[in-house]
Amino acid sequence: MSAVDVSTKRTAVNVTIVLAIIGGLSSVFGWQLNINSPEQLWLAPVIGAITGIGYRLSRFATTRWPAVGWVLFGSGKEPVGMAPIKED
């Protein structure tokens, strides 16, 4: 698998996980989420921020525990164009 494919796969998995969590929370709490509603336009940047945090956490977890990368992404490779995360 090429490096670009690895990056795409990692991003898609993280977005899917975040959207599944948000969908689950909306079902549990009875939220009526509508991204087309002007009153709920704030959801777009919130989802983006949560996805970014989730992505960073997944990179940290795969650095710390390589098996997590294989379970989530099917690969332990680092994404393209990013320096590996170093533990202090």
- Total domains in the chain come to 1
The answer to whether residue 46 sits within a structural domain is: yes
The answer to whether residue 9 sits within a structural domain is: yes
| pTM greater than 0.75 | no
Quote the tokens at residue 80: 């393209």
Q: Tell me, what amino acid is at 79? A: P
| 80, 3 contact by CB (below 8 A) | yes
In terms of DSSP H, where are the helices of 1-88?
A: 3-29, 43-64, 66-73
Distances (CA, A) of 39 to 18, 33, 51, 59, 64: 21, 10, 21, 33, 40
The answer to whether residue 82 sits within a structural domain is: no
The answer to whether residue 12 sits within a structural domain is: yes
Write the pLDDT tens digit of every residue in 25-80.
888 988 887 767 787 778 778 888 888 888 888 888 888 888 887 777 766 666 65
Q: Which residue range is the domain that position 8 belongs to?
A: 3-73
The answer to whether residue 52 sits within a structural domain is: yes
Q: Give me the mean pLDDT over the 2-13 stretch.
A: 76
The answer to whether residue 79 sits within a structural domain is: no
The more confidently predicted of residues 19 and 35 is 19
The answer to whether residue 78 sits within a structural domain is: no
The answer to whether residue 85 sits within a structural domain is: no
